[in-house]
Amino acid sequence: MPIDYKHIKKQFEKSLNDYDKNAIVQDLMASKMVLELSKHKKEFDNILELGSGTGLATKRIIREIKYKNYYANDIVEKSKLYLQKIIPEVNFLHGNALKIKPSRKMDLIISNAMFQWFENLDKAIDILKFSLEKDGFLAFSTFAPDNFAELKDITGLSLQYKSQEEIKEIIEKLGFEILYCENFYEELNFKTPLELLAHMKKTGVNSLSEKTWTVKKVKDFCDRYSKKYPKTKLTYSPIIVIAKNRF
Ligand SMILES: C[S@@+](CC[C@H](N)C(=O)[O-])C[C@H]1O[C@@H](n2cnc3c(N)ncnc32)[C@H](O)[C@@H]1O
């Protein structure tokens, strides 16, 4: 399924108000990513955060990491308002992360739960590398192919997720040293399949699915889910990567 940026933008815009209360796994990913990064380096002159959203990861980043200049980016312009509340002097770069032109090279490019939206991860990291200093750090979290296994099973819908091994290979080929890479599982439980769908909507994740969930489609999904699974759960399969730009 090709990535439709307009659709992603619309879904995330709609989910901003509810996002923080519902993005439990994304918050866990951010805290793990920051913890692992801080084991290697805790101070950077210039930081660029991609896909900053409501600033859920930003809060975790600035709690542990010192910086001189903070640049943040999101395809949704309203993210700027959230970021300014956390970092009043933030330099916000609105637009597609692969199209923005930062005014300087960065010492850290960091992104939580966003790289899965890149259609071509090789190309995306190659583009981002232009904005990264030699010996600069790249820290990101994304999802593995078995992410949302239950959903894929019922609907057949999924992003083109890459495995931990594939990601490692891409990053090394592009001249990075991998300092840390982990794939873990986190299961969320819900009372009903309808509650599961609401959770996905509130975290903007339903942008991976069909554009219109008609009443009939929602009912079909709930019926099929209940028949197949005795309890309603959604399994996240996040990947955390910390890497250093060797040249
Ligand atoms: C799951 S949210 C994560 C938000 C935040 N990083 C966090 O940890 O909570 C993904 C964010 O990436 C943004 N996004 C998706 N694709 C993007 C792209 N190509 N360029 C910039 N932002 C993008 C979305 O608008 C959304 O705010």
**Is there a domain that residue 127 lies in?**
yes
How many CA atoms within 13 Å lie on the side-chain side of 222? Answer: 16
Q: Give the DSSP letter of residue 200.
A: H
Nearest CA to ligand 1 atom 19: 96
**Is there a domain that residue 197 lies in?**
no
Residue with tokens 């939206």: 117
**Is there a domain that residue 200 lies in?**
no
**Is there a domain that residue 204 lies in?**
no
Distance 112 CA to ligand 1 centre (A): 8
**Is there a domain that residue 214 lies in?**
no
Torsion sign across C-alpha atoms 104, 108, 109, 111? negative
Instruction: Work out the angle between the directed axes of helices 121-129 and 164-173 (0-180°, nearest 10).
Output: 40
Nearest CA to ligand 1 atom 9: 56
Residue to mutate, 58, 117, 131, ligand 1, most ligand atoms under 8 Å from C-beta:
117
Distance 74 CA to ligand 1 centre (A): 6
Express each pLDDT in 187-208 by its tens digit: 999 999 999 999 988 998 765 5
Express each pLDDT in 21-69 by its tens digit: 999 999 999 999 999 999 999 999 999 999 999 999 999 999 999 999 9
**Is there a domain that residue 219 lies in?**
no
The CATH number linked to 32 is 3.40.50.150
- Ligand 1: residues whose CB is within 6 Å? 8, 12, 23, 26, 30, 50-53, 56-57, 73-76, 79, 96-97, 112-114, 117, 204
pTM of the predicted protein model: 0.95
- Structural domain including 103 reads 5-148+158-188+236-245
Number of domains in the chain: 1
